[in-house]
Amino acid sequence: MVNLERRRHIYFESGRRLREEKLRNGILSLTSQGLNGDDLKQILINLNPHLPTNADEPAGKRRRVEGKEGFIARLSSCSHIVEVDLSYNQRLGAFGMDHIHLLPPQVHSLNLNNCGLSVDGFRKICKLMETNTTITQFRLCDTYMNNDKAECVGTMLAKNSTLKELSISINCLMGLGKEGCKFLGDGLRQNKRLKRLGYFQKEDHEALLYFASVLMDGGGSELQTFRILTNSFSDASAFERVVIPKWTTVLQKCENLVDLGVDHNGLWGKEISFWLELNSFQARQVTRAGKSKELADTLEKASRRKRVDVVYFLIQNNCRLFGS
C-alpha cells in the first residue's frame, strides 16, 4: 500500500510547487503518481468549478478525506487546464474510468496510456467517448490489447464525431489478429473526422494489408497521419513485394495522407516517399486547380525545401500555365 504521507511529501509539498511542476501552459501532468480511482475522483471534482465539492459532507468524513488527500484542494483554482495526462497510473483501472466524465468541459486532450485498464475499463472509457464532444486528442496505449478491447475502440470510432487524434498500441508478439483488426477497421470506415491515428504494432503484414484495404474503401477519409509502424520487418523481401505496392496505391488515392510515421526512405523506400511528398505539398490538387498564383507558391515552397521530385512533377504537369 502506498504511504500517503510520503506520497504527499514527494510531489505535493506546496500549492506553488504543484502549479510549477504539474501545471504548465494549461497541461496538468499527473503521470506515474500511483493515483487510484478515489484520488482521481477528488482531483476532478476540485478541477471542475461546476461540480459540488465535499463541503456538504459530515465534518468527520470531510476531515478524513482532507487528511488523506490534502493536496487535492490546491487544484481548485486551476480552471484553465486544457490537457490532462494520467499515464502510467496503473492503479486507476476500471474504477477510475467511472470518474472521467467529471473532467472540466474545457479539457480537449486526455492521456490514459498504461493505466491498468481491463476490458471493463476499456468498455467504460470508450462508452464515454462515444458521445463526448470536447476531447479531440485521446491516447489509449496499452501493454496488451485483445479483441474485446479492439471492439470497444472500434465502436467508439464509429460513433464519436469530434475526435481528431487517437493513439492505440497493439504491443503483443502475435499482433491483434483478423477479428481485432476488423473491429478497428469497421470503426474507421464510419469515422469522417479523425485526422491522426497512431496504431503501434509488432510486424504484421496481414494487418497492414487489411488497413490499406480499409483506406482504399474510403475509411478514415480525413486521415492525414497514420502511424502504423515502429520497427522494421524481419522479412524485408515480403514487405517490399507485397506491402509497399499496396500502400503505394493507397497514397495515390488518399491525397490527404501525408505521414506514415516511419523513416520513409529507410523502411518504405523511395516510391512511398515520393507519393507522401506529393500529398504533403498538395501537388495534385494544385495541378487540378490550374491557378498560376497557387502553383508559383507551391513551387517556391518545394524548391526552398529541396523537394526535387515535387518540383519536377509540378513543372511537368503544368506546362500550360508556363505558356507552352
Domain containing residue 157: CATH number:
3.80.10.10
Same domain, 275 and 286: no
Same domain, 222 and 322: no
**What is the residue type of 187?**
G
In the block, cell 474510468 appears at: 97
Under DSSP, the state recorded for 115 is: S
Which of 6-20, 74-88, 178-192, 230-244 tops mean pLDDT?
Answer: 178-192
The percent of residues in the chain predicted with pLDDT above 70, rounded, is: 73
Same domain, 210 and 288: no
- What is the Cα–Cα distance from 324 to 155, expressed in whole angstroms? 53
Same domain, 316 and 246: no
- Cβ contact 274:309 at 8 Å: yes
Same domain, 268 and 308: no
User: Which tens digits make up the pLDDT trace of 13-37?
Assistant: 434 444 444 566 788 889 998 999 9
Is the pLDDT reported for residue 53 higher than 80?
no
| pLDDT score, position 208 | 82
- Cβ contact 88:142 at 8 Å: no
Sign of the alpha-carbon dihedral angle for 93, 96, 100, 103:
negative
DSSP state string for 208-235: HHHHHHHHHTTTTTT-SEEE--SS--S-
The average confidence (pLDDT) of the chain is 81
In the block, cell 511528398 appears at: 277
Same domain, 102 and 63: yes
Task: Label residue 61 by pLDDT band (50, 70, 90).
Answer: very low
Same domain, 126 and 177: yes
Same domain, 251 and 311: no
Domain stop point among 248, 264, 281: 281
More confident residue, 169 or 310: 310
Is the pLDDT reported for residue 72 higher than 70?
no
Same domain, 120 and 110: yes
Q: What is the pTM of this model?
A: 0.81
Same domain, 135 and 269: yes
| pLDDT score, position 297 | 96
Task: Label residue 203 by pLDDT band (50, 70, 90).
Answer: low
- What is the Cα–Cα distance from 90 to 142, expressed in whole angstroms? 11
Residue 139 parent element (H or E): strand 137-139
How many independent structural domains does the chain possess?
Answer: 2
> What's the average model confidence in pLDDT over 90-110?
93
Is the pLDDT reported for residue 307 higher than 70?
yes
Same domain, 161 and 293: no
Helix, strand, coil content of the chain in percent (nearest 5): 55, 10, 40
Same domain, 268 and 317: no
Q: Which domain holds residue 291?
A: 282-324
